[in-house]
Amino acid sequence: MTDRTLSGAQAIGEALFQAMEQDANVIVLGEDVSGGAGLGEPHEGEMGGSFGVTRSLFSAFGPTRVRDTPISEAAVAGLATGAAAAGIRPVADMMWSSFTPLAFDQIFNQAAKMRYMFGGQATVPVVYRMAMGAGLGAAGQHSDTLYSLYTHIPGLKVVVPSSPYDAKGLLLSSIEDDNPVLFFEHMGLYGQKGHVPEEPYTVAIGEASVLREGSDVTIVAISMMTVKAIDAAELLSADGVESEVIDPRSLSPLDVETLRRSVEKTGRLVIVDESPPRCSIASDIAAIVGEEAFGALQAPIRRVTAPHTPVPLSPPLEQAYIPSIERVLAAVRSTLA
C-alpha cells in the first residue's frame, strides 16, 4: 500500500476518475479527452488527451459526462464556466497552457470576475487543466508556463503540483473547490513516478510543502523546478551549505507564512521559476518576501528564471531557456558570498 507507485499522468487520471465516481456533477470536456468518443461507442485505444491522462474515463462514465469537443477553446472554457455557474463541476481540458489565450476572455472577464461582480451570488466550481512547460521540443507556441499571468488575476486559484502525490490530492481539492482553478501539469510531471495512495485524499490549496529542511538558504521552486532545486541542494550540502527547499504548490493563494518563516531562519532566498522574469511569480515572491522578511535578509533575493524570450526549438537553446542546476548553484552561492 504505502509503496504504491504511479506516474504523474496516472495520478491525475486517478483523481479524475475518483472525483467522477464520487460526484455525478463532475464532468470532463475538452479536445480529444476520449478521442473519437463522439462516435458514441466506448472503444479500444482511446486517446485520453494529449498525454493519455483521461483514457479511462469515457468507458466508465459515458458520453454525457466525458465529452470530446471541437477545437474551440473559448467555447470549451466558456461552457465549462457557465455550466459551473449553473451548478455542475466541469473539468475542462485545455490541452496546453499555451492554448488558453484563446479562452482568455472566458477565464479572465467571466469566470474570474463573476462572483465579485455579482456580489457573491455566483459560485463557479470549474477546473481548467492544462499541460505546460518546455523540454519536449514543442517550441514557441506550446511550451509556455503562464501561471504568472493567471496569478495576477483576482478570482482565480492557480495550482502547480510537482509530484504524483500532490497532483492527485491537489486535483481532488481543485474539483471540490467552489472557485475557478487553473491546474498546471508540467510535462516533467507526467512521467515522474512517486507514491500515491489508492483511496481519494485531498491536499489543501494554499499550503506550501517544505521538501527539504535547511538553515543556510531558502530555495523556492515552482512546479518541476523543484527537481532542480533538490538536486542543487544535494550538491550544496556536499559543500556544507544546507538549503531549505520549498514548493508553494499553489501560487494563488500563496502560502506567504511558510516562505516568510523560512527566510527569517535562513536569511537568504533563491527563487527558481521556468517563466520569463518580468511580472512573474519569481518577481512576486521576491517582492512579498523582500517586504515581509526585510530585516532578516542577508543578501539580495536571487531569481533564477527563463530568459525574457519565447521558448526556442533548438535543443541547446531550449536547454539554455530552462533554468539549470548550475544557475541555481550560482545564485545560491552569490547569496552566500
Ligand X SMILES: Cc1ncc(C[n+]2csc(CCOP(=O)(O)OP(=O)(O)O)c2C)c(N)n1
Q: Which residues within the stretch 5-34 sit at the binding site for another protein (CB under 8 A)?
A: 25, 27, 31-32
Are 236 and 329 in contact by the 8 Å Cβ rule? The answer is yes
Query: What does 92 interact with, of another protein, ligand X, its own copies, none (CB < 5 to 8 A by kind)?
Result: none
Our finding on whether 95 is near ligand X (CB under 6 A) is yes
Q: Which residues within the stretch 294-323 sit at the binding site for its own copies (CB under 8 A)?
A: 294, 297, 299-303, 307-310, 312
Widest pairwise Cα distance in the chain: 64
Q: How far is the CB of 125 from its own copies (least distance, A)?
A: 18
Our finding on whether 80 is near another protein (CB under 8 A) is yes
**Which of 18, 54, 148, 173 forms a contact with its own copies (CB under 8 A)?**
148
26 by DSSP, 3-state: which?
strand
Q: How far is the CB of 98 from ligand X (least distance, A)?
A: 8
Are 155 and 180 in contact by the 8 Å Cβ rule? The answer is yes
Judging by DSSP bridges, how do beta strands 66-68 and 89-96 pair with one another? Answer: unpaired
The count of residues in the chain is: 337
Our finding on whether 105 is near its own copies (CB under 8 A) is yes
Among 245, 237, 203, which residue's Cα sits nearest to residue 221?
245
Q: Alpha carbon of 150 to those of 22, 114, 280, 294: distances in Å?
A: 29, 16, 10, 27
Choose between 73 and 318: whose C-beta lies nearer to ligand X: 73
Are 148 and 275 in contact by the 8 Å Cβ rule? The answer is yes
**Which of 310, 330, 333, 336 forms a contact with another protein (CB under 8 A)?**
310
Q: Which residues within the stretch 15-44 sit at the binding site for ligand X (CB under 6 A)?
A: 31
User: How many residues at the interface with another protein, by CB under 8 A?
Assistant: 86
CA–CA distance, 100 with 313 (Å, rounded to integer): 21
Q: Which residues are catalytic?
A: 142
Which residues are at the interface with ligand X (CB under 6 A)?
31, 71, 73, 95, 99, 102
